[in-house]
Amino acid sequence: MNRLVALSSKKALVTGRLHFIDALRAWAILMMLQGHFVAALLSDSYRDQETLLFAVWSYFRGITAPVFFAVSGFIFTFLLVRNSSEGIKNPRVKKGIIRGLQLMAIGYFLQIRFILLFQGTLHPSYNIVHVLQCLGISIIILILLYILCYRLTIWVFQAVLCSITLVLFLYKDSYENWNFTYLPEFIANYFTNAYGSAFTIFPWLGFATFGAFLAVLFAQNHRKNHFYPYAILTTGVLGYLLVFQATGVISDIGDFIGMAFTEHHPANNYLFERLGAVLLMFSFFIGFRSYFNQKILLTIGRKTLPIYILHSVILYGSITGYGLTRYFHHSLPPTTVLLGALVFTVGITAAVIGFQKYRILLSNKKSSRSSE
């Protein structure tokens, strides 16, 4: 079979979870916790890029969101294409749409301030798009791409995914100058930062589509002999080239397909550099996958949404309006921030995991009582 649905064959079907992906997602959410804490509370007088420690921290904070988008695109697409059903009949289509809408709804819900709501008004930043809304719409777009391509060859689907990433990254200068004033602000926020949105479809969808591209490769080849060594080598080498030789790589791509990319400015190669960092992280976690199958790590990787919600409420005062940033915004010294980040990261994850264990225990008790 040469169609996308060929992935459902026994040879290509992946029956187990890829634990390194859960571990990578756990790394990303832990990095987000400490990153948001430090960024929100560290005093401005200590934000010096010439300081090695701060520069390293700043770099890894910068690649956390790209990793999270790529991993999210990977996980969702991996589950989507490995299903034996095709097209609309694929149960992952319905689940994905619901999940995407759920993420968007939660994102807007977290931007509500009930104190203001009781006064008959909304928070001024209610309409802006943050990570959850962008992730949600990215998942829905991946579903639409799958529905459009599932009757075609697998290579068409992969080519579409990879092409979207390249176009969004190469032509950032062009679409950043587009005017979206003809759209309602609520909709325009998904496309432009002009109204304060932190995450927009352009270019963040590009990381999700690239993660989806990798997912299809894994779904096809996961059980083949020597696949993992090739995967480690390929992602590692390509990641290195993009991180350290982005300008040269982009020029070579342009020469190969006969385009000069005259509108692309080298200063914006950071998107490709971050994509390279994503690939290096994939290479690292694939290479050490046997060490990343610890239950606690995998549990964290599967509970990223409640972790994000709780951290948002405590740190930013989502819903209540009373978070740590209300009292300590950009005011704490490094020692206090480092200790606080550790306590915050451990405390949030422990609370979410502890609550999950409590729910399981409570459910088991109810089941045992009903069976008596």
Asked if 156 contacts 164 with a C-beta cutoff of 8 angstroms, the reply is no
Q: Which residue has the tokens 């948001």?
A: 36
Alpha-carbon gap, residue 152 to 146, rounded angstroms = 10
Burial 33-51 (b: 16+ CB within 10 A, else e): bbbbbbbbbbeeeeeeeee
pLDDT at 352: 95
pLDDT-above-90 percentage for the chain: 61
Tokens for 300, please give them: 């964290």
What is the chain's length? 372
Confidence at 13, pLDDT banded by 50, 70, 90: very low
Query: Among 13-22, 151-160, 276-285, which stretch is predicted with the lowest mean pLDDT?
Result: 13-22
* SS3 state at 129: coil
- When pLDDT is averaged across residues 220-238 and rounded to a whole number, the result is 90
Query: Among 12-16, 47-51, 125-129, which stretch is predicted with the lowest mean pLDDT?
Result: 12-16
**C-alpha pair distances (Å), 266 with each of 174, 207, 251, 252, 354:** 13, 19, 10, 13, 47
Q: Distance between terminal CA atoms of the chain?
A: 52
Alpha-carbon gap, residue 290 to 33, rounded angstroms = 25
Confidence at 370, pLDDT banded by 50, 70, 90: low
- When pLDDT is averaged across residues 212-241 and rounded to a whole number, the result is 92
Asked if pLDDT for residue 264 goes beyond 70, the answer is: no
Alpha-carbon gap, residue 33 to 1, rounded angstroms = 45
Asked if pLDDT for residue 255 goes beyond 70, the answer is: no
Count the Cβ atoms, other than its own, within 10 Å of residue 277.
Answer: 21
pLDDT one-digit tens code per residue, 198-218? 899 999 999 999 999 999 999
Confidence at 119, pLDDT banded by 50, 70, 90: confident
Asked if pLDDT for residue 266 goes beyond 80, the answer is: no
**C-alpha pair distances (Å), 262 with each of 89, 134, 206, 257:** 43, 29, 20, 14
pLDDT at 350: 96
Asked if pLDDT for residue 117 goes beyond 60, the answer is: yes
Asked if pLDDT for residue 116 goes beyond 90, the answer is: no
Confidence at 253, pLDDT banded by 50, 70, 90: low
pLDDT at 85: 74
Burial 62-92 (b: 16+ CB within 10 A, else e): ebbbbbbbbbbbbbbbbbbbbbeebeeebeb
Helix (H) or strand (E) holding 155: helix 154-170
Nearest CA to 211 out of 15, 34, 80, 31 is that of 80
Q: Which residue has the tokens 């929100």?
A: 40
* SS3 state at 121: coil
Alpha-carbon gap, residue 202 to 165, rounded angstroms = 10
Confidence at 361, pLDDT banded by 50, 70, 90: confident
Asked if pLDDT for residue 158 goes beyond 90, the answer is: yes
pLDDT at 358: 84
Asked if pLDDT for residue 2 goes beyond 50, the answer is: no
Asked if 13 contacts 7 with a C-beta cutoff of 8 angstroms, the reply is yes
Alpha-carbon gap, residue 27 to 61, rounded angstroms = 11
